[in-house]
Amino acid sequence: MINVIGLGYIGLPTALILASHGMDVVGTDYNEELVDKLNRGEVTFEEKGLKGLFDEAVRNGIEFSNEYKVTDTYIISVPTPYDKESKKVDACFVVSAVKSVMKVCPKGATVVIESTIPPGTIEKFIRPVIEANGFVPGKDIHLVHAPERIIPGNMVYELEHNSRTIGADDAEIGEKIKAVYSSFCKGDIVITDIRTAEMTKVVENTFRDINIAFANELAKICRSDDMDVYEIIRIANMHPRVNILTPGPGVGGHCISVDPWFLVGDYPGLANIILAARKINDGMPRFVIHRISQIMKEKGLTDVRRVGLYGLTYKENVDDVRESPTLQMLERMEDGLSGGLVQVYDPYVTKKIVPNQHTTFESFLGAVDMVVIMVGHDEIKQNMNMLSGKVVFDTRKICYLPDVHRL
């Protein structure tokens, strides 16, 4: 039996796909409300294909519980935030999950950490917990790092098709865990050591952050000198060895806007491009505010209350608002462009989380003269004609109405 600990954005789909491929799975989370919801047959967030996977896993007998189970394989998938001051990983959730596992697990069990952690985390924070419980790591309890790689919005497909990394102390344990993941994963599964696996995961997300920062910096340069950044990137990307990502209103989510900080925190003075990229991406919401003011002036708009932000999530077609550029912007709006005054709407966010949040696209549009497209949800892409007559500032380059304003 596999006990998956932490039933959030990564743990839940992982538990479900294992169960739907015939593994005996219990999903554990300390959040009672969440476990009750799953036991009532409801999924806890929106994701393409997740409900189908859930139903299959339930048919195959998956269980959800608040309790840690006695078994020989644990997969831990809990958040790993960073400390805002030191920029270092805050491993408290992983540590506390491992402590709970140690209370129930038998000798010989393997504990797989899926949560993203910088190099050395298992050595520094997890091995001591094992030892403190009277176990010898590598002998009584085996540790493995198997970082996830799935992208919200396409998680179910990527779970099955992406290749994966497994970091283990010895090859035999690596092979044992590879067999578990091979039950559903059609991609290559590479076995390496734990530190390499830890570093690789952080490097992947940092690479993307730097690439997006480059695109965002180009957007600012092009704006300052009246060039079309999108056309320039489109043409540059026709070069066989160039692949620049797309500028946007900022980088949100709990991965790309977090993981590079681990390297900045652990390698100060060495992680220079990484730090610069983080600063550029974190500065984008402010740049959007500046562009809103510019466009309002240009169009003779003076009433901030008639400006509307479309999209609250960190990216398109997901319901996750963590670190979203829109929320970052609302926090930073001041001096006449107050975040408390603008109108806001997101079809995926039905719970009211900010002032002036509309529940329908129609009421939102009725309340604004200017629409700032912060997220490219399918809803707005499919209803672009409803924006005609409005001043449109499109930070995602999805709108092709005449006169649209861009970053």
Tokens of 207: 């690479």
DSSP H stretches of helix in 105-193: 121, 127-132, 155-161, 171-182
What is the phi/psi pair of residue 373, to 5°? -80, 110
Contact residue for ligand SAJ among 219, 251, 312, 321 (CB under 6 A): 251
User: Rounded to the nearest whole angstrom, what is the least distance from the CB of residue 377 to ligand SAJ in the complex?
Assistant: 11
C-alpha closest to that of 314 among 87, 89, 201, 152? 152
Give yes or no for a contact between 127 and 151, defined as CB atoms under 8 angstroms apart: no
| Catalytic option among 105, 185, 222, 255 | 255
| Catalytic option among 87, 201, 222, 399 | 201
**Residue 248 lies near ligand SAJ (rule: CB under 6 A):** yes
Tell me how far apart the alpha carbons of residues 51 and 43 are, in angstroms, rounded to a whole number: 6
CB closer to ligand SAJ, 253 vs 339: 253
What single letter denotes the amino acid at residue 286? Answer: R
- Residues 228-247: x where in contact with ligand SAJ by CB under 6 A, - otherwise, as a string: -----------------xx-
Site residues (CB under 6 A) for ligand SAJ, limited to 189-228: 204-205, 208, 212
User: Rounded to the nearest whole angstrom, what is the least distance from the CB of residue 154 to ligand SAJ in the complex?
Assistant: 9
Tell me how far apart the alpha carbons of residues 114 and 116 are, in angstroms, rounded to a whole number: 6
Tell me how far apart the alpha carbons of residues 405 and 228 are, in angstroms, rounded to a whole number: 11
Tell me how far apart the alpha carbons of residues 203 and 68 are, in angstroms, rounded to a whole number: 32
Q: Which residues contact 302 (CB under 8 A, 6 or more apart)?
A: 296
Q: How far is CA 33 from CA 16, 30, 65, 245, in A?
A: 18, 9, 11, 39
Does residue 255 carry a catalytic annotation? yes
Tokens of 4: 């998956």
User: Rounded to the nearest whole angstrom, what is the least distance from the CB of residue 252 to ligand SAJ in the complex?
Assistant: 4
User: Rounded to the nearest whole angstrom, what is the least distance from the CB of residue 125 to ligand SAJ in the complex?
Assistant: 19
Give yes or no for a contact between 318 and 348, defined as CB atoms under 8 angstroms apart: yes
Tokens of 202: 């952080």
User: Rounded to the nearest whole angstrom, what is the least distance from the CB of residue 389 to ligand SAJ in the complex?
Assistant: 27
CB closer to ligand SAJ, 119 vs 137: 119
Q: How far is CA 104 from CA 67, 100, 210, 283, in A?
A: 10, 7, 42, 46
Give yes or no for a contact between 274 and 264, defined as CB atoms under 8 angstroms apart: yes
Tokens of 124: 């520094």
Name the one range near ligand SAJ by CB under 6 A: 121-129, 185-193, 250-258, 362-370: 250-258
Contact residue for ligand SAJ among 194, 255, 342, 391 (CB under 6 A): 255
Our measurement of the distance from residue 81's CA atom to the centroid of its chain's CA atoms, rounded to an integer in Å, reads 12
CB closer to ligand SAJ, 68 vs 314: 314
User: Rounded to the nearest whole angstrom, what is the least distance from the CB of residue 395 to ligand SAJ in the complex?
Assistant: 9
Contact residue for ligand SAJ among 144, 189, 256, 344 (CB under 6 A): 256
- Residues 125-164: x where in contact with ligand SAJ by CB under 6 A, - otherwise, as a string: -----------------------xxxxx------------
Tell me how far apart the alpha carbons of residues 193 and 195 are, in angstroms, rounded to a whole number: 6
CB closer to ligand SAJ, 248 vs 308: 248
CB closer to ligand SAJ, 27 vs 285: 285
Cα separation of the two ends of the chain: 51
CB closer to ligand SAJ, 137 vs 376: 376
Does residue 201 carry a catalytic annotation? yes
Which secondary-structure segment (H or E) carries 52? helix 50-59
**Residue 46 lies near ligand SAJ (rule: CB under 6 A):** no
Tokens of 145: 């790092």
CB closer to ligand SAJ, 251 vs 391: 251
Nearest residue (beta carbon) to ligand SAJ: 248
Site residues (CB under 6 A) for ligand SAJ, limited to 299-318: 314-315
Total residues contacting ligand SAJ by CB under 6 A comes to 20
**Residue 116 lies near ligand SAJ (rule: CB under 6 A):** yes
Tokens of 326: 């829109």
CB closer to ligand SAJ, 262 vs 364: 262
User: Rounded to the nearest whole angstrom, what is the least distance from the CB of residue 202 to ligand SAJ in the complex?
Assistant: 9
Q: Tokens 């060895």 label which residue? A: 241
Tell me how far apart the alpha carbons of residues 220 and 290 are, in angstroms, rounded to a whole number: 11
Task: Report, as residue numbers or ranges, the catalytic residues.
Answer: 201, 255
Contacting residues toward ligand SAJ, per CB under 6 A: 116, 148-152, 204-205, 208, 212, 245-246, 248, 251-253, 255-256, 314-315
